[in-house]
Amino acid sequence: MAAPSFQAVLYPNPPLGRWGQTILILAVALVSGVVGVGFALAGAWPVTGFLGLDVVLVWLALRACARSARRAEVITLDETGLRVRRLGFGRSSGEWRFEPYWVRVGVEEPRRPDSPLVLRSHGRSLAIGRFPDALRRRVSRPVALREIARCFLTNAGMTVRGELARVTGLSRADAGLGNRALVAEGVAALEGPGAYRLEGAFRPQA
């Protein structure tokens, strides 16, 4: 199988590393120990047990954060289609496939700063990009437009004026930017105003 033309791995911001967690636990334990000794010397020794419980609760919270950080969404564009694979989401884990020619990309309504992207096709919808900070850091807008255009042209072979925008939901200006990026890369050729053809060397093999 050929290498994917585009792949992105989305994941939440990582928590403290192993050393950071160790230092935090030791600091909490040290403070709790000093305070506990003071209460014990004052005769209030039962308080010491509750201070130890604080250390355990901090450790459990760090474990929960570490498990959450192992979640990921893998988005792949290749000649077989657009695939989204979720890892570490429990019962929501799985893999979904969309036909690039028909899929439309939008934003979940009502729009908020953390609203995920939504893929829609033939009555199905799937929210992706649940980690917007990672998405913005790893995938620039020009790259995203180019790869959307690449996936469409790889499957269609040719596109006419307005077709990419109509199918994907992009604006005509953004669709044009994606197609022209493919021309600059040598993957596509300009056939006429708004019309692009996939170069023969990049056509999928039967």
**pLDDT, tens digit (0-9, with 9 covering 90-100), for 72-85:** 888 888 777 888 88
In total, the chain counts a number of residues equal to 206
Residues 107 and 60 in one domain: no
Number of domains in the chain: 3
Domain match, 80 and 65 both: no
Tell me: do 63 and 78 sit in the same domain. Answer: no
Other beta carbons less than 10 A from residue 205's beta carbon:
5
Please name the residue ranges forming H helices in 42-171.
Answer: 46-69, 132-138, 141-156, 163-168
Residue numbers in the chain where pLDDT is lower than 70: 1-5, 12-16, 67-69, 92, 108-115, 129-139, 200-206
Percent of the chain with pLDDT over 90: 0
Report the CATH number at residue 191. 1.10.10.10
pLDDT at position 136 is 45
User: What is the value of pTM for the model shown?
Assistant: 0.45
| Shared domain check, 64 and 80 | no
* Closest to 164 in 3D by CA, of 181, 186, 139, 185: 181
Domain that holds residue 47: 18-69
